[in-house]
């Protein structure tokens, strides 16, 4: 079973528009943007991973915190997609994240993210008890996304440590400080995106050399798979067996919706790892899942044949120095 943790879930709301105003600063009383189309779905990195895995027939349980009416909508959507849910309910309202996608500029969306409700200490205790219990039935746990208000900064470290005690492989699908504090607890697989925070394991990660050095530093801390996104279409895979550059050979103009593509990547890798694939093959499938997801308007591509079709678009080059 693959357990996923989304501490700050969202209702992802998408608006597709023909045109955005050129400048929001232009003096006008109001700006009306008419959406050509809209859609919403349960979201957050861990939840997206669970949705993907459930649709591929992998047993998965999604955990985290939900609140209010929006939390009910998120839960309902998640259950409808076949995932198992085990959330702690808190006061307030689960956040809504809005993405506005302009025709012709799909790779450059406008996003508005809410902060999410604060998590009280008692709810954290309840969560940790549930989490320890669910770890007993898990093979992997995916920790994904931002920490909500009220959650201590070192929380991912604690969750990775608890997973390690139970022999469960931890995947940290986050970057910045959340990843940095989790590294000492020895996660198995990390997937930072240096476009968001140009840093991995506390080291700068802007240039390719810096990214490689930071990834190798993560390996020294016990990480076995370090997959670093540095470009819309590019990732670097750093493992004890070597270093690979992965490129999606797809023009940006092909992309319809980039939200969730990196979650499809992580979910695709895990889907193939639990099936017994070698890491490199699993990552290739994950990249194909990310491309297939980015090429459609819905957040995730859940069609295995469509993903397999994209495998040929993934270019894998072994690099020196790995």
Partner 1 sequence: MKAREFMRRDLTSVERDATVGEVIYLMEQSGLSSLPVLDDEGVLVGVISEKDLIRAALPGYLEMLHSASFLPNLNQLSRRLKEMAGEPVSKYMHSDVISVHPDDEDLQIADTLIRHELKQVPVVDGEGHLVGVIRRIDLLYHLV
| Residue ranges in contact with partner 1 by CB under 8 A | 61, 67-68, 71-72, 75, 79, 82-87, 89-91, 126, 129, 133-134, 136-137
Cβ closest to partner 1, residue 71 vs residue 144: 71
Q: Which is nearer to partner 1, 93 or 277 (CB)?
A: 93
Whole-number minimum distance, CB 188 to partner 1, in Å? Answer: 24
CA-closest candidate to residue 4, choices 77, 68, 78: 78
| Joined tokens for residue 106 | 């799909």
Q: What angle do CA 303, 11, 70 make, to 5 degrees?
A: 130
Residue with token string 């995730």: 300
DSSP H or E run through 143: strand 140-144
- Kindly tell me which of 134 and 147 has the beta carbon lying closer to partner 1: 134
Q: How far is the CB of 24 from partner 1 (least distance, A)?
A: 37
Taking the complex as a whole, the smallest distance from the CB of residue 91 to partner 1 amounts, in Å, to 7
Complex with partner 1: residue 73 or 110, whichever CB lies closer: 73
Q: Please, what is the minimum distance in Å from the beta carbon of residue 117 to partner 1?
A: 11
Among 55, 63, 57, CA closest to 80: 55
Nearer to partner 1 (CB atom), residue 166 or residue 207: 166
In the complex, the smallest distance separating the C-beta of residue 32 from partner 1, rounded to whole angstroms, is 36
Nearer to partner 1, 31 or 80 (CB): 80
Q: What residue has token string 């528009």?
A: 17
State the alpha helices, DSSP H only, in the chain.
45-55, 68-80, 121-135, 155-165, 176-183, 208-220, 261-274, 279-294, 304-310
DSSP 8-class letter at 145: S
DSSP 186-232: --SEE--BTTTSSEETTEE-SSHHHHHHHHHHHHHTT-SEEEEEEET
CB of 125 to partner 1, least distance (A): 11
Give least dist CB 42 to partner 1, A: 13
Nearer to partner 1 (CB atom), residue 60 or residue 229: 60
Q: Which residues pair with 10 in a beta bridge?
A: 43, 95
Q: What angle do CA 119, 45, 76 make, to 5 degrees?
A: 75
């Amino acid at each position: 079973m693959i357990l996923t943790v989304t501490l700050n879930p969202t209702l992802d709301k998408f608006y597709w528009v023909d045109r955005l105003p050129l400048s929001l600063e232009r003096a006008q009383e109001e700006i009306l943007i008419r959406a050509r189309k809209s859609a919403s779905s349960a979201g957050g990195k861990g939840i997206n991973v669970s949705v993907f895995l459930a649709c591929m027939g992998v047993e998965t349980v999604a955990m985290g915190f939900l609140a209010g009416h929006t939390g009910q909508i998120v839960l309902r959507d998640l259950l409808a997609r076949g995932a198992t849910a085990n959330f702690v309910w808190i006061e307030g309202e689960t956040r809504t994240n809005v993405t506005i996608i302009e025709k012709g500029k799909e790779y450059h969306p406008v996003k508005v993210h809410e902060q999410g409700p604060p998590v009280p200490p008692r709810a954290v205790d309840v969560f940790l008890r549930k989490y320890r219990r669910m770890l007993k039935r898990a093979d992997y746990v995916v920790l994904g996304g931002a920490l909500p208000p009220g959650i201590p900064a070192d929380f991912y470290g604690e969750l990775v440590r608890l997973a390690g005690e139970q022999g469960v492989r931890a995947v940290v699908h986050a970057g910045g400080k959340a990843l940095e504090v989790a590294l000492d607890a020895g996660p198995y697989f990390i997937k930072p995106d240096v476009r968001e925070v140009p840093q991995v394991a506390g080291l700068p990660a802007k240039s390719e050399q810096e990214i490689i050095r930071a990834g190798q530093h993560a390996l020294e801390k016990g990480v076995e798979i370090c997959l670093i996104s540095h470009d819309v279409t590019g990732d670097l895979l750093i493992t004890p067996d070597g270093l690979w550059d992965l490129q999606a050979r797809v023009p940006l103009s092909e992309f319809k919706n980039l939200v969730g593509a990196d979650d499809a990547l992580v979910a695709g890798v895990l889907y193939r790892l639990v099936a017994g694939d070698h890491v490199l093959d699993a990552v290739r499938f994950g990249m194909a899942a990310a491309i297939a997801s980015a090429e459609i308007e819905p957040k995730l591509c859940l069609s295995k044949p469509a993903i397999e079709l994209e495998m040929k678009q993934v270019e894998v080059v072994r690099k020196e120095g790995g």
